[in-house]
């Protein structure tokens, strides 16, 4: 897609969890010249260490505003990330199986919040860091889902009805984890600021055994790069 026009930069909302993928998507949007409005949602996740990571990444890439809001999906449960269910460790990662770390309708809820903020601030692009390749089987990371939400945005908003199209931007969609990491490093993104672990220790130390930790380690290995987060995490 073409980048923003010269002059006053257009605004974009980016869903920023503090993880490796969303941080890379944010850095890519910033490199395209967008004025970024970063949205971080406390949804009752057990890995709240990522909230601190989101703050650090937002500051590092220079967003115009970083908004944190709370939506308690832990009240619903149904996921190892929002309840007492055990986070799987050292399992075979197969994308055809939806894991217990899937949070019911999470991306739909987060995108709806991002869409509301985008319409309020006059942004027409919403960035998120989903990938259809190196992912853990989540249905709301698929291209068909993103295309459907884009159609919903056109129907469900005042701006959309008036003919102002929203674009759901998923720049990592067809990239492997290694490709994502290489891209972020090329943009100068400090991955030492990010957090990926689903089940960190109370001090925030990554477990090294959950799906997210293993996909991250695999990505850095295949990218031929060292993970700076590990050099800053005692005992990791």
pLDDT at position 186, please? 98
Domain parsing of the chain, residue ranges: 11-231
> What average pLDDT score do residues 135-153 get?
89
Residues 6+ apart with CB under 8 A from 211: 88, 91, 93, 99, 101, 136, 198
pLDDT at position 3, please? 45
- Record the pTM: 0.93
Lookup: tokens for 25:
């998507």
H or E stretch at 107 = helix 106-121
- For residues 127 and 148, the answer to whether their CB atoms sit within 8 Å is no
Query: For the chain, first and last CA: distance in Å?
Result: 39
pLDDT at position 173, please? 94
Distance of alpha carbon 64 from alpha carbon 66, whole angstroms: 7
Residues 6+ apart with CB under 8 A from 214: 90, 93, 208
> What average pLDDT score do residues 157-185 get?
96
> What average pLDDT score do residues 67-74 get?
97
pLDDT class for 2, splitting at 50, 70, 90? very low
pLDDT at position 97, please? 78
Q: What is the average pLDDT value for the chain, to the nearest integer?
A: 92
Q: Please give the backbone phi and psi of residue 164, each rounded to the nearest 5 degrees, phi first.
A: -95, 105
Q: Which of 107, 88, 106 is nearest to 97 (CA)?
A: 88
Residues 6+ apart with CB under 8 A from 171: 25, 28, 29, 127
Question: What CATH number should be reported for the domain whose range is 11-231?
Answer: 3.40.50.620
Distance of alpha carbon 160 from alpha carbon 97, whole angstroms: 35
Residue 234 has pLDDT above 60, yes or no: no
pLDDT digits (tens, 9 = 90+) for 203-218: 889 999 999 999 999 9
């Amino acid at each position: 897609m073409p980048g923003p026009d010269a002059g006053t930069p257009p605004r974009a909302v980016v869903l920023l969890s503090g993880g490796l993928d969303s941080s890379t998507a944010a850095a890519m949007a910033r490199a395209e010249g967008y004025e970024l409005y970063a949205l971080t949602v406390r949804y009752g996740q057990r890995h709240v260490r990522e909230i601190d990571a989101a703050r650090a990444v937002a500051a590092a890439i220079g967003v115009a505003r970083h908004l944190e809001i709370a939506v308690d999906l832990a009240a619903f449960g149904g996921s190892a990330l929002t309840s007492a269910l055990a986070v799987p460790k050292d399992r075979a990662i197969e994308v055809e199986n939806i894991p217990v770390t899937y949070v019911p309708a999470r991306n739909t809820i987060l995108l709806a919040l991002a869409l509301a903020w985008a319409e309020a601030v006059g942004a027409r692009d919403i960035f998120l860091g989903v990938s259809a390749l190196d992912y853990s089987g989540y249905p709301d990371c698929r291209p068909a889902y993103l295309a459907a939400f884009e159609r919903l945005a056109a129907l469900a908003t005042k701006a959309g009805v008036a003919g102002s199209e929203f674009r759901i931007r998923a720049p990592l969609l067809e990239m492997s984890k290694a490709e994502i990491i290489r891209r972020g490093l090329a943009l100068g993104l400090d991955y030492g600021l990010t957090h990926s672990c689903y089940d960190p220790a109370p001090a925030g130390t990554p477990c090294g055994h959950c799906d997210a930790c293993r996909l991250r380690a695999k990505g850095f290995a295949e990218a031929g790069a060292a993970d700076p987060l590990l050099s800053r995490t005692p005992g990791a």
